[in-house]
C-alpha cells in the first residue's frame, strides 16, 4: 500500500490528522499487524466493533469506528485517543482508499457491465502486465468493501490499476467512481440483471453508465458498438467515447474492431484493428463471448494509451478467473464450466458455444442450466424463452435445476418435443443427477446464477469414476 501521512489519513476521515501515518489498513482483526489502522466494519454476520480489543492486542495503532458506538466503547475501557469516530465506517474505507488512489501515478481502468466484466478485467490485466506492474480486482472484490481493498494494494511500482465494479442499484457505481477516479471506463454490455430492484433494462443501462458519467476531464468511455440502451444512457456525456465490436453483426463502424481469422477446437486466431494499425494474436480459447471480451479489453488498453501492437500478445497469457467458460476434460466428457453466474444473454451465448463444440467433437450436447436470479416479475418468461432457444439450437439434453428452471424445461419441451429434459427442483441434488445421466463423449455445459452453486456439478463430474479397459475403476 502507498503510505498515507497522518494528515492525509486524517483528511480522509474528516479530521485534521490522526496519531500516526498509515502504511496498512485492516478490516479483519486476525490480520492486524503492528502499526495498522483497523476499520470496524459491520456486516450481516459480524461486527468489527466486537473485535477492537483483539485488534489492539495485535498492535493496531488506531481504529476507525462508528460514532454511534463511542459511548459503549469508552465505557468498555478503550482509549479515546486511539479511536477515530465516523458516521459510516464503510464510507470511511472508501475515503481512505481514495487518498491512496490520489497518490498513485498508475493509469486506472474501471470496468462494469451485465456480461463479461470479470473476463474482460482479466484480459485487460493480461495485456497491461506487458507494460509493468498491475493491480487488478480479485475474486468478488467488486463492491463497496472489495474495491477499496483493491486500491490498498497499490504501490509506487504499480503501472496499471484495473478495477471491476458491481452494483445492485442506482447510485452504487457512482459512489465507487468517486474514489476510484478511473481514466478509462468500460461498460461491456447491458443485459437482464437486477431487474427485481431496477425494474427495466433502461434503468440497468443508467446504473452501469454511472461509471462513464463519473469520468474526470480527459477520461475516455469504452462501450460496445450498436447498443441502443447504452447509447441512450450516454446522452449528455461530454467525454470521448471509444466503441468496440466483433465485426460480424455490429452496425456501424467501431473504433476498435475484432475479426476471427481461424478457429480450431479450443484455439483461435484473432485480428484486432484500431485507428493506427492492426495485429493478430493466437489464443487457446475460442468462445465467442471471450473473443468479444478480448476486443473490449483491447479497446480499453488502447484508450488508456498503451501501445496495442506491443501488448496484444498478453491475451495469450491470461489466467482467467474460475468457472467462467473453462473447458475441462474429465472421464471421457468435455465440461464447459460457466457456473459462476448467469443471465439470459450470457446463457444464450453459452448454449451457442455448447452446440458448436459438440458439432466439432461429436457426441451429445448436454445443458445443465439453473435458475437465473434477479430477473424480477418477468423471470418465468425469461426462463421459458431461454428454454425455447436451447431447443432451437439443437441441445439434445437439458437438465433444468432450481424452482424457476421448470419454466426453462417447459420452453425447451415446447420447442423440442423429442428432446430429452429433466427438472431437478433442489440444486443440492443436481450434481448426482448430472453424473448419472451423462456419459463418455458428451459435451456438458454447466451454467446458473451464483446462488445455486452449480460448481458442485462440475466438481462431481471431475470426480467421476469410469471403468478402465481392464475393469479397474479409475478417476478421470
Q: For 51-61, write each residue's pLDDT tens digit.
A: 999 999 999 99
3-class secondary structure, 144 = coil
471 pLDDT higher than 60: no
d(CA 44, CA 66): 16
d(CA 157, CA 133): 6
Measuring CA to CA, how many Å separate 145 from each of 60, 137, 203? 20, 12, 24
Q: What percent of the chain has pLDDT over 90?
A: 86
Give the residue from 337, 342, 341 showing the smallest Cα distance to 326.
337
Question: What is the predicted pLDDT for the residue at 96?
Answer: 98
Question: What is the predicted pLDDT for the residue at 467?
Answer: 43
d(CA 429, CA 447): 15
Read off the pLDDT band of 465 (50, 70, 90). Answer: low
Fold of the domain spanning 104-317 = 3.40.1190
Read off the pLDDT band of 435 (50, 70, 90). Answer: very high
Contacts of 476 (CB under 8 A, 6+ apart): 329, 330, 331, 332, 333, 462, 464, 465, 466
Question: What is the predicted pLDDT for the residue at 249?
Answer: 53
Give the residue from 440, 400, 402 showing the smallest Cα distance to 420.
400
pTM: 0.90
206-249 pLDDT, tens digit per residue, is: 999 999 999 999 999 999 999 999 999 999 999 999 999 997 65
**What is the torsion angle, in degrees rounded to the nearest 10, for the CA atoms of residue 112, residue 245, residue 242 and residue 307?**
100
Contact 155, 75 (CB under 8 A): no
Q: Which CATH number fits domain 6-88: 2.102.10.10, 1.10.10.10, 3.30.450.20, 3.40.1390.10?
A: 3.40.1390.10
> Residue 295 has which C-alpha cell?
476486443
Least confident of 94-103, 238-247, 325-334, 423-432: 325-334
Task: Sketch the domain layout of the chain as residue ranges.
Answer: 6-88, 104-317, 326-475
Measuring CA to CA, how many Å separate 27 from each of 8, 40, 47, 152, 395? 19, 6, 10, 12, 47
Question: What is the predicted pLDDT for the residue at 469?
Answer: 39
CATH 2.60.120.380 fits 326-475, yes or no: no
Amino acid at each position: 500500500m502507498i503510505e498515507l501521512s497522518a494528515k492525509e489519513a486524517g483528511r480522509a476521515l474528516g479530521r485534521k490528522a490522526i496519531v500516526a501515518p498509515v502504511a496498512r489498513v485492516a478490516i479483519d482483526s486476525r490480520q492486524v499487524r503492528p502499526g495498522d489502522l483497523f476499520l470496524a466494519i459491520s456486516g450481516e454476520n459480524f461486527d468489527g466493533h466486537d473485535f477492537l480489543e483483539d485488534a489492539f492486542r495485535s498492535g493496531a495503532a488506531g481504529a476507525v469506528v462508528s460514532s454511534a458506538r463511542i459511548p459503549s466503547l469508552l465505557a468498555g475501557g478503550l482509549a479515546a485517543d486511539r479511536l477515530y469516530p465516523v458516521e459510516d465506517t464503510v464510507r470511511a474505507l472508501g475515503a481512505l482508499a481514495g487518498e491512496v488512489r490520489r497518490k498513485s501515478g498508475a493509469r486506472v481502468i474501471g470496468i462494469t457491465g451485465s456480461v463479461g466484466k470479470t473476463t474482460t478485467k482479466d484480459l485487460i490485466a493480461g495485456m497491461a502486465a506487458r507494460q509493468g506492474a498491475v493491480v487488478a480486482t480479485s475474486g468478488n472484490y467488486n463492491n463497496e468493501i472489495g474495491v477499496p481493498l483493491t486500491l490498498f494494494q497499490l504501490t509506487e511500482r504499480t503501472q496499471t490499476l484495473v478495477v471491476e465494479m458491481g452494483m445492485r442499484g442506482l447510485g452504487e457505481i457512482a459512489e465507487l467512481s468517486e474514489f476510484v477516479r478511473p481514466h478509462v471506463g468500460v461498460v461491456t454490455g447491458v443485459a437482464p440483471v437486477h431487474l427485481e430492484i431496477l425494474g427495466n433494462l433502461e434503468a440497468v443501462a443508467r446504473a452501469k453508465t454511472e461509471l462513464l458519467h463519473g469520468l474526470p476531464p480527459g477520461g475516455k468511455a469504452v462501450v460496445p458498438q450498436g447498443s441502443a440502451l447504452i447509447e441512450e444512457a450516454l446522452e449528455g456525456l461530454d467525454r470521448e467515447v471509444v466503441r468496440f465490436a466483433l465485426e460480424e453483426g455490429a452496425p456501424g463502424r467501431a473504433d476498435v474492431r475484432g475479426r476471427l481469422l481461424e478457429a480450431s477446437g479450443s484455439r483461435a486466431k484473432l485480428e484486432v484493428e484500431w485507428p493506427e494499425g492492426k495485429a493478430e494474436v493466437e489464443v487457446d480459447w475460442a468462445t465467442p463471448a471471450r473473443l468479444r471480451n478480448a476486443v473490449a479489453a483491447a479497446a480499453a488498453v488502447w484508450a488508456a494509451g498503451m501501445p496495442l501492437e506491443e501488448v496484444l500478445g498478453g491475451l495469450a497469457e491470461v489466467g482467467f478467473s474460475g468457472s467462467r467458460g473453462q473447458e475441462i476434460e474429465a472421464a471421457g466428457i468435455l465440461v464447459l464450466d460457466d457456473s459462476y453466474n448467469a443471465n439470459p444473454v450470457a446463457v444464450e451465448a453459452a448454449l451457442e458455444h455448447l452446440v458448436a463444440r459438440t458439432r466439432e467433437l461429436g457426441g451429445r450436447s448436454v445443458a445443465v442450466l439453473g435458475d437465473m436470479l434477479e430477473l424480477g416479475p418477468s423471470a418465468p418468461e425469461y426462463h421459458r424463452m431461454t428454454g425455447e432457444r436451447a431447443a432451437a439450437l439443437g441441445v439434445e439434453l437439458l437438465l433444468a435445476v432450481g424452482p424457476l428452471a421448470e419454466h426453462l424445461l417447459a420452453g425447451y419441451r415446447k420447442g423440442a418435443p423429442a428432446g430429452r429434459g429433466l427438472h431437478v427442483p433442489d440444486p443440492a441434488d443436481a450434481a448426482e443427477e448430472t453424473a448419472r445421466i451423462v456419459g463418455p463423449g458428451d459435451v456438458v455445459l454447466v451454467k446458473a446464477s451464483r446462488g445455486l452453486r452449480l460448481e458442485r456439478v462440475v466438481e462431481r463430474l471431475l470426480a467421476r469414476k469410469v471403468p478402465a479397459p481392464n475393469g479397474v475403476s479409475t478417476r478421470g
